[in-house]
Homo-oligomer: A and B are copies of this chain.
Amino acid sequence: MSPVVGARAAPARRIGLICGGGDFPVEVAAAAVAGGREVLLIGLKGSADDSIEAFPHVWVHVGEVGKVFRALEDFGTRDLALVGAVRRPAAKDVRLDWVGMKSVGQLGRLLGGGDDRVLAGLIDFLERQGYAVVGVQDVAPSLLVAAGVLGRVTPDADAQADIAEARRLLGALGPFDVGQSVVIADRRVLAVEAAEGTDLMLKRVGKLRAQRRVRGEGGCLVKMAKPGQDLRVDLPAIGPRTVEAAIEAKLAGIAVEAGRAIATDLKGLTAAADKAGIFLFGFDEDAPAS
Contact = CB atoms under 8 A, between A and B. Distances in A.
Interface of A: 87-88, 90, 112-115, 165, 168-169, 172-173, 175-179, 182-183, 186-197, 200, 204-205, 208, 212-215
A168 to B, nearest CB: 8
Contact of A172 (B87, B176, B179, B215): B176
A91 to B, nearest CB: 11
A244 B115 CA distance: 28
A282 B139 CA distance: 50
A194 B87 CA distance: 25
A112 to B, nearest CB: 6
Highest count of chain B CB atoms <10 Å: which of A87, A183, A186, A188? A188
A196 B173 contact: no
Contact of A212 (B90, B179, B205): B90
Contact of A189 (B169, B176, B182, B187): B176
A196 B208 contact: yes
10 contacts: A87-B215, A90-B212, A113-B186, A114-B187, A169-B176, A183-B194, A190-B194, A195-B214, A196-B208, A197-B213
A116 to B, nearest CB: 9
B169 A178 contact: yes
A191 B189 contact: no
Contacts of A204: 196, 200, 204
A187 B175 CA distance: 12
Contacts of A183: 194
B187 A191 contact: no
A217 to B, nearest CB: 13
A178 B183 CA distance: 11
